[in-house]
Every structure is written in C-alpha cells, then in structure tokens.
Structure 1
C-alpha cells in the first residue's frame, strides 16, 4: 500500500466582475491537495483537501446543495475533451451546503474511492483533474464566476506521480451506505383482490469510502408485510424485486445520493387490515445474486440486506376507488438533448463507429409499456451527430418521449509507427580500448496524418564515438496532434581480451648440461620465462623446472601462460643432457715404494715388480708411457718410476713410485767428548768433529752434497745440516 501527497499549488485567477441578477460569487484563487492510498486493481482511496477563496466583493452565499467538487481523468492539462472514471460529486451533503463568505477561504475535506484504471502516463488519460463548480441543485440559485465566465474551475495534474497499484490479489469493490430512508404512498384498492397502487421511494446515503459500483443487475428492492418493526418473522405478500432493469443497474458513486423510486401494483390483502396482524410495511434493499461484476455489499461476502419498516397507519393511504390511468410513463435516464448525450470517439480516418449506450427506459403503474425507438445500442453511427427518439406508451395510451443525440467524433490518438528500432546495438573492442565509432541503421517513423519530419529529438547518431559500457539512446517521434512514440535502445560496447600474453626470456637455445659418463640423469638450470598481459597472466603447470633432473638426451619443456579470457601463449624449448668422460682411468697395483739395500761399494741393482694396470668407465684404458720397466737396472739412490695411462677421452692417470737402493748403515763410533750438544725445544743438535777418514767415508756412503744426510748411531738417526766451511759437521738427533 502506498500513500502519495501532491500539492497543486496556488492557482491565481483573474476575475472581472460584471452585473448579474441575484447573488454572485467569484473566486480569485484556490489550493487543492491530494492524498492517495493504493488498494488494488486501480482502485485507490483518495482524500482531497481544497480551499477556495471568494473575491472580497463577492456576496455571501448560503443555502443547500450549493457546491460540487468532482474528479476525472483527462487527455490534456486543461481538462477539456473526453473524461475518464469521472466522479461527479465528492462532497457530503453538509459540505455541499457550506456558506461562502467574501474574502474567506471555503474549505473542503472529501474522501472517496477512485478508479485510476486508464489514468496514467502510459494510458489514454495522462492527467487527473479536480473540478469545482456550482451544484445544479443549488438552492437558492446564484451566479458562479471564474475569470468572468460561469464555468467550473478545473485544475489538472500530470499523472506521472500517481501511485500505481501493484499486481496484488484481486479485491472486489464494496458498496457501503451510512443511512436508508423509505417513503410509502399507497392508493389502496377498495377490494383486496385488486392490487393497490404504491409509490415507494428509497433514499440511501453512500459512505465516503464506498467504491464506485457500476454494472448490470446490481440492486434488488423488495416489499413485504411484517408483524414486527424490524421485518423479522413471517413475511406477507412478498415482492422480492420492484426495480426495473435500468433501476437495478443504477451506478453508485461516493457522496452522491442514491435514490430509487418505483410505482407498482402491490397486493395489500391482509396487510394493515382490521386485525393488524401484519401492520408493518417493509422494504428490503440488497445486492442481486446475479450482479455483474461481482462486488461486496456492506463490505461482506455474506448475503446481507438492509430492511426498513413503517407502521401501516403512518403511510399515506387514499381509500378512493382505483382511478383510471392518466399518468404518462416515467422515463428513466434520458440524456440531455441540449448536450452531446452519447459521445464516441474514433480514430482519424474512420467514418463510423459502433456505439453502445444505456437505452432509456420507463416505468409505469400498469407495468405494460411499449417502446418505439429510432436508435439501438450497439448500432453503427456515422461521424457527426445523430438524433435518437425513444417513445414509451403504456397500456392506457399515455406516452412520453426521450430525445437525445449520438455524436461520433474523430480524433488522432494513434502515435507514429516506429520502424527499424533495434533492441540494442553492440560492439566488441579489445581490452584496453576505451571507445569506438558506431554505425547503425537509424529508426524512422510514419504517421496516419502523412506528416513528415516526425523526429523531434534524438540522443544518439550513427558515426558517433561511444565509450565502453552502455549508452541509452532515445529517438522521439511526435505527430502534429502531439501523439508521441519513441525508440529507446542501448548501445553496448564491451571489451574482449583476444590478445595472448607476451612472453619474455623464452630460451632460444635450449638449456643443456653435461654429466659424467655413466650417469643417467643431469640437473639443468635456466632462467624461467615470464609473461605479461593487460588482464594478468597465469602460468599453468609446466613440464619441467630449473633444478629438475632430466634423463640423457632431449626433453621438451613447455611453459603455457593464460589470461582470464583463456588466451594462451606458449614457450617451448629443449633441455639437453649429454655425457662427457672426465674421469681418468683407475690404476690398479701401483707400488708405493720399493726399497733395496746393497753392500757398500755396489753401484746398483736390477729391480722387478708387478706392473700396474688401469681400467676406465669407457671400457678403454691404455698405457701410453712408462719411465722404467721391471728388470731394469737402478743405481744406488732413489729413482722415480712413472706409468702414464690414458682413455679414449684422453683423460690421464699416473702411477708414480720410488725405488730406493741404499747401502748398509755405517756405524760411527765416537765418544761424548767428540760431541758438542746444543739442545732446543724440538731436538738436540750434535756438532761432531769428524776426522778426515770418517768424513770421506760419509761422503762416499751418503754424499755430503745433499742437503739432508742421515747417520745411524746406537739406533738413533742423525740428520746432518750442512754449513759453509770451515765448520764442524752438524748432526741433528731427532727425539
């Protein structure tokens, strides 16, 4: 449920006052405020607060039924032309009779349910209006002026701000009443076997919140005699329906008196008799079971009625003889001949229209009426004015006529027809581009008026530059009668990433490594490639990483980079693992030292040994050189023997060992007197004065020309340190 307040503002009217007979009131301004509370199906509770200010030179206007405040939908801001869902009177009886004083606001606060169907910005009636005027039933009569004209004051508002009812569950309208009065006039027949003539008038006051009820077979008005004042108990001579079809279909409007008057022949036998057993005359008012459309009576879905009874002696009864019928039939709802009574509007170019209307009906006490008409509801009528006559004649020859006109008007209400209006115009640009020039086929329009240049406004055009995103475009077409149509569409520019990521550092020559012959795997290192992309690049699982072990041979490595749009870029290269023989041959049986002794004076000795050999992982190890061979002669002293081996990769291995041939040790006898001992931390140095014989013998055996000589004395080794002569020989005793 939604409430909306609208303030029309102050509408100033210029008033030119002239002379007029009787009293006169002229209004200089008025303010109208609306409040709407949406119900459902277009039915809305409306409250109108209005203030009307008479001119200071106006006269005081007092009486009954002075004012009328109405509501309707209109096609234009002026409120002229056809009206939709009109409520003729919003004011209650008390408000209609308010006194107007010069210069003082005349205020009203009226409530009613209104039908907003067909009233709205997209409907046939885009404006809603309030009309303030003199009530035709004003008593006494007076002159009502607005801007020097005796016309109603009309204020209209664009319905853009009207509440729209939500698609709620359907709610049936309700007929609500605040009071009911009945008046009985009975011309009693002198003989109970002859029906009596009765005129029964029922007046109901609609509740301000009642819905507008229109349709067919709406109401039921019955008559019966009763023993009780509330109509309870047994009913006498009941007539369940006194209304004619046209009366049973009388519309109900808020704040407008609802009056039903019938003349019927009723059976009064046993009613208001001498025994007074059925002394009450009763009417029962309610909804017909066959009402169309369906509505709620008194706001309830149950079968309810309003019963009102009067004591028979309180009614007007005429005990005369049953008179001769001289009364003409009473015509109901005859349109005013002085105004276009029935109006139909057809589209420009159409020459006629089928016009349905409520045909006039009549009532008569005889209940026997013949009708002669020149028009029929639902017939086709030409553009222009057609005069219709309905003649009603009762069984006694009494007749009356209803004459009215049917007017068929033409109006151009058809908006231009738009062609080539796209739902949307789309383009895709590469990610990073911000706009694009768009070309499209422009919409155009034609109109039944054959007018050209219908395009009044456009917000887009082909060849324009449109940014990434959505741009709303409007083409507005208007014909000479103001009918509008538009083409609204979107220009959608979206980005699409169709560019692959850009790879950097993709190896052009594949990384490689060399491993020792005999290994099956090798670790390969490289700088990993990277990728950039406008949307960001992601590396998918790769087939190898730096530092991984790879088998001998070629292994393909694939780096795949992808962006959020699925574009892929690939870096592919080969990782190569090769072998190289860098291991020298392995020597077997390489001697460490061969020592031999010979007698003093023997120059040397033939030495033999098991020759070393070599193996290699390549399977080939060759002896390429040796300095000596077994059974060679070696002189006294130390000789180095070298074996050189090589494999197919020219890796070399050397076996080197020493052959030492020495003479037996010389025992030197000397006393401590011959020694000069000098001690330090690590050893003892002995200075020995050797005679020439011993010196020569030492030279012969050991050779003093070498820097280090050894002597053995009493199991101890002496080391000779040479010095420049003349000096004593120095022997160093190792501890």
Structure 2
C-alpha cells in the first residue's frame, strides 16, 4: 500500500525541483566525542561539523525519523567558510542511504569524494530515489579531517503506507484505533495542521477480520495525499470455559453411570458457543465407572486460540450388596447335642465389588458350635463404598439320635406265702445326647410297676426323647414260685 503526496506550495526548507530538504533539525551522532554533530543540520552554513583528530575511521550519521521511510533524491554537503580551499577535508568520504543500522549494508549514494572534489563548496550525491531512514557519511583516511558545514537531504514526500494489524481488546470482538495510527509529516505546518478524512473513520471500532480503509490528507498549503490500506484485527483471546466438578451415582445393578452431557459453559469474545471446538479426554459422553476420573478438555475458537479446562468426574456407588441367606438345617453330631458348622451357603453380590471385597459381620459367628435348637442369625454385609445390607436366617440343628437304654433281665422270687411278687422299680438306665433322663418318656408293656406272677414275663419298653427319637428295650422278668400265699408286701429289687 502507498501514500502519495502532491506538492502545491514551497516549504520553509529549501526546495529543489519539487523535492524538499528534510534533514534540518533531525537527530544526528558521530564517531567523535568532541565534535558537534548537530552543527551539520542546524540550517546555518556558518557553523560547521569537524573531526580533525587522527582516527582510523570517521563518520557522521542522521536519523530522518522512524516512520515513514522517505524516498531520497540526493544528499548535498555544503563546505563553505574555509580559509584553505585546497584542504582535503572530505577526501575519500562515502555517503550511504538506507534503513539498516548496520550502515555498511545501506546503498551508496553517488561516488566517493575524489581529490578534485575536495575544493568544491558543495558536493552532490545522487541516491536514485532510494527509500531510507538513515544517512551516513564515512571517511576511512585517518590523516584527513572530516568537515562540512551543512548536510541537506532532498526527498519527495512519498512514503509507504503500511497495513495495520491490531489485536482485540480484552473481552470484546473489536479493536479501537486512535487517529494517530498513521504517522503523518508535513514539512511546513506540522502534523497538527493536516486534515485527514478516512472511510471508515480511524477512531472507531474495527471488528475481527480485515477492513479496507481509504484516507485523504490535505495541509493548509493545498498539498495532499491519498492512502489505501487494510486494518486487520486479530482475535488473540482464548475461550473462557467453566468446568465444575461433576458427581453422579451408579445406575441400578451396574458399576457405572452413563453420561451424555456435561454442564460445561464456554464463552468467547468473538465466537458463539457452537463455533468453539472441544476435545476431551476421556470423551464426555459414555460410560464412567465408579470412582474418580480426571477429565481434560481443550477448547479452541476459530482463530486458533485455545484454553484447557480440567475437572474431576466422580461416580459414587450407592447400591448396597445383595446377599442370599437361606435357612440352614443340620443334625447333631453322634453322641453330642450340637453340630459344628464352619461354612454357610451364603451368596452375596454387589454392583461394584467382588465377593471377597465385601465385609461381613454375623451374630452369632458363622463358624462354630450350634446346639440342637433353632438359632436366629443376623449378618451385615458392607461394600467398599460403605453401603450395607442385612440378612437374617435361621440355623436349625435337629436331634436325630435316639436314647440309649440299658435294660437287664430281672430275676426274683415270690413273696412268702404267695405266688407272686410286687415290683416297683427296675434297674433300667437310659441316656440321650440331648435330653436328661427325666425328660425322656418311657412306655413299657406290661407296666414296670405292679404284680409279676411266678414264671417268666417278657417286658417291652419304648423310650422317646423330646425330638421324637425312640428306642426299644426288651427284657425278661423271672419270678420263682416258692408256694406262698398272695401278699401285698412290696419287694424292691435294685
């Protein structure tokens, strides 16, 4: 892009066929610590710049300004007010014009000063319309002084009009440009008296993207310029996501939660939510297992700005274990009144934990001695998430062992004078694994207490414990006749 000035009036500085001296009053510096470099651009040919000490390399330089870059027509050295016209005060001097601070890289203007040139009051160095910010004059001859009274740099007023690139202001989708985004220079009136008309106006909002701008500039002397350029506003602000931690509970019967959406809010200074891409690890929809999962999401707007959001997804197991506790039946061990149980057929399942990870506590303890009776058992099962379930069942130990009677045969004699004997007690011993003797019922035929006549009598007894187990005992009662009369006397046989 280019701004082009047209000149309608002569400026205060010297004017050369449409070109203007732009050096006066600009910043200068030199290799000498004692020479006054600014004397060469003070507009007075009677004050001169001079380095007369011996140096291997002498130089003088001027900065025409950081923007714009001028198109240089020629550089003129004025060397008046000399007492000795033949002195070689600028011999071997070289003039350069360009934009590099490494002055040796800038193009040379004209020829190096020769012996014949040193006697001239004015030396002209054509620069072939070189764009330049810096002008340098260098001399490699250490024995000759470097002297000139004025440096004039002639340039037309054409310079580059560069496109403008700016970034969005915080939180909005535009940049506000001040009217001074274009640095204008006028050699007569100064910048404050330049009238600028731009479409669109430069002191407004420029939204993200490219905007073509066209400007017309006029000074009070009628000089003008046109400028067409682009204003590009770049979005450099990343999206702003809000990612809160998420908590869910497991679905019934399984160890996970299924998620198809997350409460993530993302805003951007330019793009709507649906235009912001997002990529999360793991994926935000699907199965999340019981426990905590760290989720990392990256959000990117259409300008390539990205933001990272990290949050924790927690799935809590709230489902208690499911125990299956059937009632248990056992029989007493031989000769004792209990059963010994070391394992129970309890099955417990859980939606998350394996069986071996579920704690259990039972009252009474599930392994040990259970007596012949019914015992109520209560068990509490707890998974690793603290969910518990209660299971109640009955352990029944049945007595299936009959009593053990000892029935010896009985021999006796008739009572004196009678043919019989009256027996009230028999030597029968009965034991049982559960019940005491007095708790065992007995039924004998004939009855065990009463009159037994001379001769032999078969006695059959049935013994039954409280569990209904019975045992039969058969024995013989023998009464010997001694020809006695019947008597009511009782004989106790032990």
Structure with bigger RCO (C-alpha 8 Å, 6+ apart): 2
Give me the TM-score of the superposition, normalised by structure 1: 0.30
Considering only CA atoms, is the larger Rg found in Structure 1 or Structure 2?
Answer: 1
